Amino acid sequence: MKPFPWQHALWRQIIDLADRNRFPHALMLSGAGGLGKEQFAKALTARMLCRTPGEFACGECRSCRMLTAGHHPNLLTIEPAEKGRLIRVDSVREANDFVAQTAQQGGYRVIYLQPAEGMTIAAANALLKSLEEPGSNTLFILLADIPSRALPTIRSRCQRWTFAIPDEAECLPWLREKLGNDEDARFWWRVAGGQPLLAVELGQGESRQLRQTLREVFEALVRGAEPVAEAARIDRQALSSVLWYGIAWLEDLIRLGLSGETAQIRNSDLLPLYRQAVKNGRVRDWFRLLDYAREQRRLLAAGSNPNAQLVLESWLVRWAALLRS
């Protein structure tokens, strides 16, 4: 496994540290979810465990083969039991036991933990103990989409590596391969706010269709359609994505409304609709709606269980009111 093409500079820096034995015992890799930091972390794990590494793990030694087969005695992976749940203290206690043992056949031990901001308080406190007394040849790799939500005492014990939004040129060849052509690659990269993995996810299959539907709803609302009737066209399971697009489009609107410039617009195909909305709306109201959308998304992510259909309708009613105010 290798890092993605846009991660090569960061990879060189981190490998350089490892090769000079300057590696800390804990890293926190942070950055938006669609930048591919999991793959980077896995490539790094493989290289740390590899017995004959070059720039990357060799892929052929006994250690690499064990890793490929899905079990390595010197690797412990800690993740929530289910997506969206918190990491519990018993998982972290496993890490403490693991750290207390000696690495098999010498070499490094790696504890891979994600998401670092998704632990119970008890789990985070248990982890602190290991981070303070990690033993030799032990590397903790923690991943966080939003590091500010991780416990400060955990953050401060890790060396932080931040994944920034890559330049278009760094990810364009990869995106072209995934999405088929240059035009789609550029378009979805911008829609995804520069996150390549997210661009591929949004630009394919049902996600691609969802954006098309939302665009049609946007057009209909600008023409004066009834929002509750429009809500019926949208799958309520997609609420989180609907709000994600709502936020992105509002941010576009605010950029356009404040500066009048189009260079920073992420959804250029919506420009005619934005212009119409800018003519009718007021920036203050867009900020208010933006807060509403962010709050609803936060509630959804926190697993509080709002009535999705109701939130969807309420969102479109507000969005429509803003387009016509």
> Which positions touch Zn ion (CB under 5 A)?
50, 57-58, 61, 64
Name the minimum Å distance from CB 23 to Zn ion. Answer: 18
Q: What b-and-e string marks burial along 268-294, b requiring 16 or more CB atoms within 10 Å of the CB?
A: eebeebbeebbeebeeeebeebbebbe
Name the minimum Å distance from CB 138 to Zn ion. Answer: 19
Residue among 57 and 141 whose Cβ is closer to Zn ion: 57
Name the minimum Å distance from CB 72 to Zn ion. Answer: 11
Residue among 53 and 246 whose Cβ is closer to Zn ion: 53
Residue among 61 and 317 whose Cβ is closer to Zn ion: 61
Which of 175, 240, 187, 254 lies closest to 5 in space, CA to CA? Answer: 175
Name the minimum Å distance from CB 3 to Zn ion. Answer: 16
Residue among 50 and 150 whose Cβ is closer to Zn ion: 50
- Cα angle vertex 108, ends 103, 111, to 5°? 90
Q: Is the peptide bond before 115 cis (omega within 30 degrees of 0)?
A: yes
Name the minimum Å distance from CB 76 to Zn ion. Answer: 19
Which of 158, 171, 192 lies closest to 29 in space, CA to CA? Answer: 158
Residue among 58 and 222 whose Cβ is closer to Zn ion: 58
Could you give the residue ranges of the DSSP H alpha helices within the chain? 8-19, 37-49, 62-69, 89-100, 121-132, 152-155, 168-179, 182-191, 196-202, 205-222, 227-231, 239-259, 271-280, 283-301, 308-324
